Structure 1
Amino acid sequence: MESPDHILVVDDDAEIRTLLRDYLERSGLRVSAAADGRQMRAVLSRTAVDLVVLDVMLPGEDGLALCRDLRARGAAHLPVLMLTARGEETDRILGLEMGADDYLSKPFSPRELLARIKAVLRRTRALPPGREPASAAATLAFGAWRLDTVGRHLLDAAGTVVALTGAEYRLLRVLLEHPQRILSRDHLLHLTQGRDADPFDRSIDLLVSRLRRRLRDDVREPRYIKTVRNEGYVLSTAVAPQVTLRSTAPTDEPA
């Protein structure tokens, strides 16, 4: 029998932690809870977690700093759903910049949180690393770059690895699957995050900005990701799928 997904709720409000733990567990999930960054790290050090629900307003290190730390420590593929105060657009923007996969404004209903959790997990697992046959792993080459679809990272012309967050990987993968085709922000948001945009949603613009930095793409004269005014974005270079022979022996690479 498949084990339930393990969710870590990080919030300094004990009442919210209890409410979410009870609701999510009744919905078939396994739940751990933490009140701050120290407790969060303690949980992550002793058990595997499938997704972190992380409040922005925390004592000591806030949620933005903790999200940035998770990404810096190699947890690029651990989904993070951030909880922000209603109307705090700055928190949402910074959360996405730090590598969060989604955000939800307080107050919210537990039912909506559950739906967001399931959507993020579906997106994360839509292209799971390591599921391709070991002897025929796809690499997508474009310009001076290659995207390793097993390791979920970029390689530059010298073979140097550039790590990507889960959200960055999904956006780049979508662009590479639709080269030289204009994709609207709404379409990109639907393909990468499984939801519709609200009138002030800037998450795709932020992700594009982050990807351009990874690709060392000059925003004034971009070579790879170009902005089409009033329409969206386009990957302006051709893409060549490649097959890389890989050893079937286990590796020591982090998940």
Structure 2
Amino acid sequence: MMQHHLIGKSVLLVEDDPKIRNLVKIYLIKEGYEVIEAINGFDAKEKIEQLDPCILILDLMLPGVNGEKICQWVREDLKSMMPIIMLTAKVSEKNRIQGFKMGADDYVTKPFSPAELMVRIEAVLRRTASRCGKLSFTGFTIKPAKGEAWIKRERLELTHFEFKLLHMFMQHPGQVLSREQILSFIYENHEKEVSNRTIDVHIKHLRGKIREKTPKDYIQTVRGMGYKFVAQ
């Protein structure tokens, strides 16, 4: 399994071959990633704009808009430094060099080992962490160093405490977190005495701000246990 800090990251997998797509998806889910799928270039562009994933796994031979054009669009039009790993059957050195010139971070030729692809994804994310510095999951994107948060490209105006709560939830998707665990995540050294009631109030405010942007309830109360952040 990967390091815990990678859990809760979204991967956009752009591949028109369903067998390859499903196989890679199984490996990604096993490693703790959220998988967003696209089967052609138009679909990929829409999902990049809407969900701003952490990394793009991009097949070059796509129907409609091909992978080279998607890569060029991400780098030149969006001005995004989103990590990109290209998947292709083109094995010549010239093709690889062209891919890197377009802005790819890595290049994997078909047929490939899904296990090796997982290692390459981890390496690219580690290498680009300072460049990208973001966490993206279920439509939410946050930049911890800047204290900025968005949902589907709409800015969330959060207090420091609300931001820390959202960051914590995104790092532990699908897990029920007790109020005591939330306190220990937010205040690692328990330097402040904060009551369970205070946690509830901050979560209520965070939920309210999220609901202003979307009707979905991402933070669920688990009666008698705590709270859970769920993908929709």
TM-score (norm 1): 0.48
In the TM superposition, residue 43 of structure 1 has moved relative to its aligned partner by 1.3
Residue type at the aligned position of 2:85: L
Equivalent residues, number: 134
After superposing on structure 2, the runs of 4+ consecutive aligned residues of structure 1 that deviate more than 3 Å are: 126-134
Counterpart in the other structure of 1:113: 117
Tell whether the 8 Å contact from 2:11 to 2:55 is kept in structure 1 after alignment: yes
Paired letter, 1:12 = D
SS of the aligned residue for 2:24 comes to helix
Note the 1:47-196 alignment, pairs <5 A.
Answer: 47-85=51-89, 87-126=91-130
Which has the larger displacement, 66-75 or 50-59?
A: 66-75
SS of the residue corresponding to residue 64 of structure 1 reads: helix
Letter in 2 for 1:20: V
Say if 1:27 and 1:72 are closer, same or farther in 2 by CA, change over 3 A: same
Q: 1:12 aligns with which of 16, 36, 41?
A: 16
Per the TM alignment, residue 86 of structure 1 is displaced from its structure 2 partner at its CA by 5.1
The 8 Å contact of residues 10 and 40 in structure 1, kept in 2 or not, is answered as yes
What displacement does 1:133 show? 9.1
Gaps of 5+ in 1: 135-255
SS state of the match for residue 94, structure 1?
A: helix
Shift of 1:5: 1.1
Contact 2:81 2:131 in 1 (8 A): no
Deviations 1:147-192 (A, max 9, x none): xxxxxxxxxxxxxxxxxxxxxxxxxxxxxxxxxxxxxxxxxxxxxx
Could you tell me how far apart the structure 2 residues matched to 1:133 and 1:99 are?
A: 25
Cα deviation for residue 127 of structure 1 reads 5.2
Letter matched to residue 73 of structure 2: D
Separation in structure 2 between the aligned mates of residue 81 and residue 33 of structure 1, nearest angstrom: 15
SS at match of 1:20: helix
Letter in 2 for 1:53: I
Name structure 2 gaps, 5 residues minimum.
Answer: 134-142, 148-232
Q: Answer whether contact 2:42 2:64 (CA < 8 A) is retained.
A: no
Structure 1 Cα separation of the partners of residues 146 and 98 of structure 2: 37
Spell out the pairing of 1:15-54 with structure 2 (5 A cutoff): 15-54=19-58
Whether contact under 8 Å (1:52, 1:79) holds in the other structure is yes
Q: Partner letter of residue 35 of structure 2?
A: V
Mean CA deviation greater in 29-38 or 84-93 = 84-93
Kept in 2, the 8 Å contact 1:56–1:91? The answer is no
User: Is the alpha carbon distance of 1:38 and 1:89 closer, same or farther for their aligned partners in structure 2, counting shifts above 3 Å?
Assistant: same
- Deviation per CA, 1:213-248, whole angstroms, max 9, x where unpaired? xxxxxxxxxxxxxxxxxxxxxxxxxxxxxxxxxxxx
Q: Is the 8 A contact 1:6 1:31 kept in 2?
A: yes
CA distance in 2, matches of 1:58, 1:128: 26
Preserved contact between residue 55 and residue 82 of structure 2 (Cα < 8 Å): yes
Q: Secondary structure at the match of 2:8?
A: coil
Q: Over aligned residues, Cα RMSD in angstroms?
A: 2.4
Q: Deviations over 1:1-34 (max 9, x none)?
A: 9751110111110111111111110111111111
The residue type equivalent to 1:42 in the other structure is E
Output the CA distance in 1 between the equivalents of 2:102 and 2:76. 10
The residue type equivalent to 2:91 in the other structure is: G
